[in-house]
Amino acid sequence: MRLPKSLRIFTGVAIVSTFGVAAFLTRETWIPMLSPPTAQHDTEESAPPVKEPKVLKLTLQARKNLRLVSKPAKYQAYWRKIQVPGAIVDRPGLSDRGVTSPAVGVVTQVHAFPGDTVKVGDRLFTLRLFSEYLQNTQKEYFSSAREIEFIESELKRLRPLSEKGGISKSKLIDLKNQLRRQSTVIQAHRQDLLTRGLNPDQIENITQGKFVSTVDVVAPPLVERQSNSPTIQQTTFRLLDSQPTEFAYEVQELNAELGQQVQAGQLLSTLANHSSLYLEGHAFKREAPYLEAAAQNGWGIVVEFAEDDPTHWPVLSQKFEIRHLSNAIDAKSRTFGFFIPLLNQSRSYKKSDETFVVWRFRPGQRVRLHIPVEELNNVLVLPAAAVVREGPEAYVFQQNGDLFNRIAVHVLHEDRLNIVLANDGSVTTGLYLAQNAAASLNRVLKAQAASGMRADVHVHADGTVHASH
């Protein structure tokens, strides 16, 4: 007979519960049977973890490939510096010089063009004079010269008569006074003509009635003479034999064209002499105290010239010091300028009977200025490539033959070129330290550690393994 459905469900639940209670009560017997057998070596004590590798080994060929250089450690004093950008600029009043027209005229000849080099007194332009004032000055100069000749002739004629009492001596006194007045007028006209660009020979010809219709504008002297003499030469005079004859200027720009009418004082050309320039730095206001201290104490500034090739030029032995600081801040860049004198270097070459000059440093060239801020004593200074970083840690590598030992160090200061390490006992004086390729050495160290071969051990012939001695 078939049992009712409810009775069948109750019977099934009872059976399952019975099996569950039996399994729980006998768990200590059957659970170990389900676990896999434990290997014998797992029961043994685990080996200690391998320490982080600190020594690597490099062959001679590998060191040559890395161009590795090692030097003994030496503690010293070091100036902490800040880096400020800058540029080479012209030095006002010395680098560039404008040449102006001495009078109203027309440019009839141009003798020097951009790129040409000129000496002091070389012709730059020839002007045909249209100046009414200059023509009147020449006429008055000629008339005064004739008047002096007449007075001197009259004095010569009347002097014997005055000695014999034939005429009053007051007549001679009047003539001498007239002679002095005319001499003063002659001197004033002569100086006026000199400042207008006429040379002494041309002025002498005016006394003979040969008026000047053209004038040469010449290269000015580098340094004007200071004299109280009325015959002092001005910047447009032709060169005297006593003046130097070496290169003085390079024509930088023409400001007047052939056939152009120019006014008195109008700019004709710009001459350049880049022998004396400025290094102009651009600093923020917060850096002003550092710059002021460097300027007051005369601390030397280290200069990095961009795009400079020192191998083809003489050694630059100049000491760079801040001359002055600007007291104005640029509205756009929010920086102020400071200025360092620079003595330039040049060389010349000839082509087609013309001389051309090449300057080592040029206005507009970029520089980096390293300003001293603080002196650090008893520190180790290494190139930036001699230290490698891993998070907060910094390491250097000590060379001992083929082996390189990694040493943790404390960095006090670093910049683009150097890293300064504290004297905390990690590196002693005389240890040979790698001066470059620290990052490459660190990668090799990790690669050798990953391969399982320790660089600081070696195997003897009997098969025993020892650490390196």
pLDDT of 445 over the 60 cut = yes
Lowest average pLDDT, out of 23-27, 47-51, 55-59, 345-349, goes to 47-51
Burial of 335 per CB tally in 10 Å (0-12, 13-18, 19+): middle
222: DSSP letter: S
pLDDT of residue 456: 54
Domains annotated for the chain, with CATH where assigned, are 55-77+377-467 (2.40.420.20), 83-92+274-373 (2.40.30.170), 102-270 (no CATH)
C-alpha span between 58 and 258 (Å, rounded):
73
Question: Mean per-residue pLDDT for 103-119?
Answer: 90
- Reported confidence tier of residue 297, pLDDT bands at 50, 70, 90: very high
459: tokens are 């195997």
pLDDT of 20 over the 80 cut = no
pLDDT of 398 over the 90 cut = yes
Q: Select the more confidently predicted residue: 33 or 455.
A: 33
34: tokens are 């389900």
Cβ neighbour number for residue 466 with a 10 Å cutoff? 9
pLDDT of 47 over the 70 cut = no
Q: What are the residues facing 368 on neighbouring strands? A: 85, 304
Amino acid present at 402: D
Letter string b/e over residues 57-90, b meaning 16 or more CB atoms within 10 A of that residue's CB: bbeeeebeeeebebeebebeebebbbebebbbbb
Lowest average pLDDT, out of 7-21, 31-45, 96-110, 210-224, goes to 31-45
pLDDT averaged over every residue in the chain: 81
- Reported confidence tier of residue 450, pLDDT bands at 50, 70, 90: confident
Q: In sequence order, what E strands does 51-101 have?
A: 55-57, 70-72, 75-90, 96-100
- Reported confidence tier of residue 226, pLDDT bands at 50, 70, 90: very low
Q: How far is CA 152 from CA 60, 155, 179, 260, 409, in A?
A: 100, 5, 7, 45, 97
Cβ neighbour number for residue 245 with a 10 Å cutoff? 11
- Reported confidence tier of residue 182, pLDDT bands at 50, 70, 90: confident
pLDDT of 257 over the 50 cut = yes
Whole-model pTM: value is: 0.64
Q: How far is CA 410 from CA 293, 374, 393, in A?
A: 29, 18, 8
pLDDT of 440 over the 60 cut = yes
pLDDT of residue 239: 33
pLDDT of residue 146: 81
Amino acid present at 419: I
Lowest average pLDDT, out of 195-204, 238-247, 271-280, 312-321, goes to 238-247
pLDDT of 62 over the 60 cut = yes
- Reported confidence tier of residue 245, pLDDT bands at 50, 70, 90: very low
pLDDT of 454 over the 90 cut = no
Question: Mean per-residue pLDDT for 67-95?
Answer: 91
Question: Mean per-residue pLDDT for 157-185?
Answer: 76
Lowest average pLDDT, out of 21-25, 286-290, 291-295, goes to 21-25
C-alpha span between 200 and 186 (Å, rounded):
13
User: Is 387 strand, coil or helix?
Assistant: coil
C-alpha span between 242 and 78 (Å, rounded):
51
pLDDT of residue 286: 93
User: Is 314 strand, coil or helix?
Assistant: coil
C-alpha span between 384 and 438 (Å, rounded):
9
Tell me which range, 29-38, 146-155, 214-223, 371-380, is most confidently predicted by mean pLDDT.
371-380
pLDDT of 458 over the 50 cut = no
pLDDT of residue 165: 66
pLDDT of 410 over the 50 cut = yes
Model pLDDT for residues 267-292, shown as the tens digit of each residue = 999 999 888 899 999 999 999 999 99
The angle formed by the CA atoms of residues 22, 23 and 28, to the nearest 5 degrees, is 115
Express as a percent the part of the chain with pLDDT over 90: 37
C-alpha span between 59 and 417 (Å, rounded):
28
pLDDT of 188 over the 80 cut = yes
pLDDT of 389 over the 50 cut = yes
